[in-house]
Structure 1
Amino acid sequence: MRKKWGFRLFQTAMTALVLLVFAFPFIWMLVASFKTQSQIMSTDSFFVFDPTSVNYTSVFKEYNFLKYISNSFIVALGSTLFSLLLGLPAAYAIARHHLHKLGLLILVARIIPGITFLIPWFILFSQIKLVDTHLALILSHMLVGLPFIIWIMISFFEALPKEIEESGLIDGCNHHQVFLRIIMPISGPGVITASLLSFIFSWNNFMFSIILAGDKTKTLPIAVFNFMSYSEINWGALMAAACIITLPVLIIALLAQRYVVSGLAAGAVKG
């Protein structure tokens, strides 16, 4: 009994230690967002200081952060929705027709570093006058989001029993109706998981935005980058902006946590 109690205590202590290590950067970010520049640079104390909201005020008044939030939301939501529209039928076809070579090809497209697409993508969008538009960013983010959604949903669709589809066909549905009315409703956890991960990637993407975005379509990661200059880094505003960027994704992740866990578990086990 004592050994079991001791093991549980050790397990709890190790879990707390790991959580502290991973959570410390977020704690430091949150605390620093309420400090002045001099307080952040000081090593005298970490938690003992006079909190101020001047950093958040500066972010919204001086840097027009609402515009960047709007741009990031449009691009992230647009790329996720279009990726779902194309990716879900593709993943279902690959899973049901056992097109494993095509699935491997899609995985290779996901593995290729996105930076290899930057110059061709920029030349293409320059020719058709799409640089500094939301559409250009949405399409570029789909280069990663679409293969990601397809690869996640292939495993999920393969885990679904074929008898479910056969019963729908017997009841008079065609294949399109079976997919829309039977398969999609029971694939909710997998779709939510794929959507959330794709949205987070697009929300945090920096590489495509720094090349294809301009003053009209600048997204949050690019806006945060502007807080760093050659001579100085505005740490207070930078930490406040980082908290603002993290908050929406954190809320979405907490609300969809149980769906993400069940979606990943369902996709990992084939029936």
Structure 2
Amino acid sequence: MRPRTGYRVFRATALTLVVLGLIAPLVWMVAASFKTNVDIYDPSKAVVFSPTGDNYETVLQQANYIKFIVNSLWVAFASTALSLVLGVPAAYSMARFGMRRSALVVLMARVIPGVSLLVPWYYVFSNLRMVGGFAVLILSHMFVALPLIVYIMMGYFEGLPQELEESGLVDGLTPIGAFRRITLPLSTPGIATAGILSFIFSWNNFMFALVLSGANTKTLPVAIFDFVGYASIDWGGLMAASTIVTVPIMLVALFAQKYVVSGLTAGATKG
């Protein structure tokens, strides 16, 4: 019993340290967003301080971050929705017809670093006069979201019994009708998983938006850099803006974690 008790104590201690290590930066960020710049630099006010909402007022009113929030939501929703519309049928076709080579191409597109494509993208889209618009941001985000959705949904479709579709065909359904009425409803957890992960990527993306966005299409991760100046940094405003970026997506991941886990688990099993 003693070795087992010692293992439990060790495991609880290790988990506590890991959780504290992960949560501590987030707690400091949220706390700093309610401090003045002077209090942030003062070690004596690391825990006890007089909270202020001026940083959030600066972010939401003076810096007009409501516009950047709307931009991020629009790009994330549009890229995710279009990727699902294209990726789910593509994944179904690859899974049902054994298109392994096509799946390998999709996987290679997932592996290619996005930074290696920024210069060609900028050259092509600038010649098309699309740089600075929402369309180029949505397309660039789809380049990563679409292979991710296809890769997740392929494993999910391969785990669904094909006999269900065959029974639908016997009852008079067409192949498309069997997919729409039988397979698609059963694949809801996988679609939710792929959509959530795609949305999180798009919401957090900085690199593509930094190069391809304009003044009116700037997203939140890029807009945060407005608080970083040449001679000084507005740490209070920076932490408030970072909290606005981080907290919503953390809440989405927290409440949707059961769908993500069930979707990934179902997609990892076959038969």
Shorter chain as normaliser: what TM range?
Answer: over 0.9
Equivalenced residue count is 271
Question: What CA distance in whole angstroms lies between the structure 2 residues aligned with 1:187 and 1:266?
Answer: 9
- Corresponding letter in the other structure for 1:218: K
Per mean C-alpha deviation after superposition, the further-off stretch among 247-256 and 132-141 is: 247-256
Tell me the secondary structure at the aligned position of residue 147 of structure 2. helix
Matched residue of 2:182: which SS?
helix
1:37-76 aligned within 5 A: 37-76=37-76
Number of the residue aligned with 1:135:
135
Match of 2:247 in 1: 247
Structure 1 range deviating more: 4-13 or 16-25: 4-13
Match of 1:120 in 2: 120
Whole-angstrom distance in 1 between the partners of 2:118 and 2:203:
18
Deviations 1:118-141 (A, max 9, x none): 122222222222221111110111
| Counterparts of 1:14 and 1:210, CA distance in 2 | 38
**Who is 2:110 aligned against?**
110
Q: CA deviation at 1:3?
A: 4.4
| CA distance in structure 2 between the aligned counterparts of 1:230 and 1:241, rounded to whole angstroms | 19
Percent of aligned positions that are identical: 51
Q: Deviations over 1:229-267 (max 9, x none)?
A: 111111111110011011221221122111111111111
In the other structure, the counterpart of 1:86 is: 86
The AA in structure 2 aligned to 1:38 is V
SS at match of 2:35: coil
Aligned mates of 1:30, 1:203 — CA distance in 2: 19
TM-score (normalizing by structure 2):
0.96
Q: How does 1:72-221 map to 2 (within 5 A)?
A: 72-221=72-221
For residues 181 and 248 of structure 2, the distance between their equivalents in structure 1, rounded to whole angstroms, comes to: 31
* Comparing 6-15 and 52-61, the one that deviates more: 6-15
The whole-number CA distance in structure 2 between the counterparts of 1:100 and 1:24 is 44
What amino acid maps onto 2:140 in structure 1? S
Tell me the distance in 2 between the aligned counterparts of 1:22 and 1:7: 22
* TM-score for both structures, normalised by structure 1: 0.96
- 1:255 partner amino acid: F
Write the distance in 2 (CA, Å) between the matches of 1:267 and 1:66. Answer: 37
Cα distance in structure 2, aligned partners of 1:105 and 1:128: 26
For 2:112 and 2:125, locate their aligned partners in 1 and report how far apart those are by CA, in whole Å: 20
Distance in 2 (CA, whole Å) between partners of 1:165 and 1:77 is: 31
Matched with 2:232 is 232
Moved more, 6-15 or 148-157: 6-15
Backbone CA RMSD of aligned residues:
1.3
Instruction: Tell me how far apart the structure 2 counterparts of residues 25 and 168 of structure 1 sit (CA, whole Å).
Output: 53
Gaps of 5+ in 2: none
In 2: Cα distance, 1:33 partner to 1:147 partner:
37
Whole-Å Cα distance in 1 between the matches of residues 146 and 213 of structure 2? 20
1:26 paired to 2:26: yes
Instruction: Give the distance between the partners of 1:255 and 1:176, measured in 2 at CA.
Output: 33
For 1:225 and 1:164, how far apart are their aligned partners in 2?
52
Q: Which moved more, 1:13-22 or 1:67-76?
A: 13-22
Separation in 1 of the partners of 2:206 and 2:155? 29
Q: What displacement does 1:173 show?
A: 1.0
* 1:154-186, Cα deviation, whole Å (9 max, x unpaired): 111111111111111111111111111111111
Please give the alpha-carbon distance, in whole angstroms, between the structure 1 residues aligned to 2:6 and 2:119: 58
Aligned-pair CA distance for 1:63: 0.8
Shift of residue 25 of structure 1? 1.2
For residue 28 of structure 1, report the CA deviation from its aligned partner.
1.0
Q: Cα offset for 1:216?
A: 1.0
Question: Residues of 2 paired with 1:251 and 1:18: CA distance?
Answer: 20
Unaligned ranges ≥5, structure 1 = none
What secondary structure does 1:253 align onto?
helix
